[in-house]
Amino acid sequence: MRCKRIGAGAALAAGALAVTGLAFAPAALAVTPQTATISADCGTFGSGAATLTATQDGTAATVTVKSSAITAPIGLGEDSISSTLTLVKAGGGSVTFTGKENPAMAAGAPVEVGPLSGTVASGDSLEAFGGSLKMTVFGITITCTAAGPQSPGPFVFD
C-alpha cells in the first residue's frame, strides 16, 4: 500500500512540474502580418499581384513568394530556382532571404519560390518596396521589383 502512495505522489509531483514548465515556457515569436501582397514587375517575364508569406522562429525567418500573374516560362523541376529576396528595413539597410526551394512547375504554371531563409532582429520592420527578388534559372537571372508598398503593411518581427 505504501508503494502505491509513493508512486501516486511522485506522479502528481511530476505532473505539477510539467504544468509549471509549460507556464514558464517562452512564448512563440510571431511576425505580423503573416501575409502581404505586392504588385510585382518582372519585366518581360510578367507582372501582377504576388503574395509574400513570412514566418519567424527566434531570429530565423522565412519568406515564400507566390504569384499567379507571373508564370514559369518553361517546365521547372523541384528546387531548381536559386532565389534572393531583399527586403528593405524601415530604419535603413536591408535583410536578404535566400534559398533554392521551389515546387516543380509546368510551363505556364504560377511561380512559387521559398521558403527563403534569412535572419531578423526583434522589432525589424521589412518592406518589399525598394527591394527585389532575383531568381536564377538555367543561368538566366530574372529580377522582380515591387511597384509600390506591400499591403496591408511591412512585416514586423517580434
**pTM as predicted:** 0.81
DSSP state of 5: H
pLDDT of residue 62: 98
pLDDT per residue rounded down to tens, the chain (158 residues): 444 444 444 333 333 333 333 334 444 568 999 999 999 999 988 899 999 999 999 999 999 999 988 888 899 999 999 999 999 999 999 999 999 999 999 999 999 999 999 999 999 999 999 999 999 999 999 999 999 999 999 999 99
Distances (CA, A) of 67 to 27, 61, 62, 119: 32, 20, 17, 24
Helix or strand or coil: residue 80?
Answer: coil
3-state secondary structure of 44: helix
Residue 70 has a pLDDT of 86
The pLDDT assigned to 25 comes to 41
Side-chain half-sphere exposure of 7, counting CA atoms within 13 A: 4
Name 51's bridge partners.
37, 66
**Cβ 64 vs Cβ 114: under 8 Å:** yes
Q: What is the pLDDT of residue 29?
A: 65
